[in-house]
Structure 1
Amino acid sequence: MRTIQINIPENIDLKDYDFSMIIAAKLYEDAKLSAGQAAKMVGLSKRAFIEMLGKYGISVFSKSTSDLHSDIKNA
């Protein structure tokens, strides 16, 4: 896994975990990471990561209608 360094202003009151979760959740939402990859990025199980997504304003469900139709077909 790659490591990057980001300078964050001191007045931003975010814990390292919250910042990591925000980044991982956004990458998951944009389909850049799978749920498993995003979970690993923040040190959570896949299930725990999925359960935390709502706290960060991210839906587990795709916004794509084609994905919805595919999910219904596969259900």
Structure 2
Amino acid sequence: MSTKTYPLALPESAFSALRKSPVEFVEEMKYAALVKWYEAGMITQDKAAEIAGLSRFEFLQLLSRYHVSAIQYTEGLLDEELENYAGGKDSY
């Protein structure tokens, strides 16, 4: 995957707030954004892992670190699962 670099202006205090070097801080920002985008249903686990440069297993570990469930239900899917459960259907 080819990459591009974009400038990001941050105050010096940002790095000390998390006790991270600038490189570690930017990596942490990237991970936090990817986890949030996954949680919001904007990207898949596979795409998030690819962007992060992690294996899918490592991304699942990252989700755990951020206390985000690896299983994301949309409202419609959850309703469908509950209807199937109430009706005695097995969706597997």
Q: With structure 1 as the length reference, what TM-score do the two structures score?
A: 0.72
- Give ranges in structure 2 of 5+ residues lacking alignment: none
Structure 2 contact 35–48 (Cα < 8 Å) conserved: yes
**Cα deviations across residues 29-66 of structure 1 (Å, max 9, x unaligned)?**
11111101101111001121012102113211225454
Q: Which has the higher Rg, Structure 1 or Structure 2?
A: 2
1:27 counterpart (37, 58, 63): 37
CA 1:2–1:47 in 2, change beyond 3 Å: closer, same or farther? same
Moved over 3 A (4+): 1-5, 63-66
Give the Cα separation in 1 of the matches to 2:8 and 2:67: 23
**Greater RCO (CA < 8 Å, at least 6 residues apart):** 1
Indicate the RMSD between aligned Cα atoms, in angstroms. Answer: 2.5
Pairing 1:1-75 to 2, within 5 Å after superposition? 3=4, 4-12=6-14, 13=18, 14=20, 15=24, 16-64=26-74, 66-68=76-78, 69=81, 73-75=90-92
TM-score by length of 2: 0.62
Q: Structure 1 vs Structure 2: percent identity of aligned residues?
A: 20
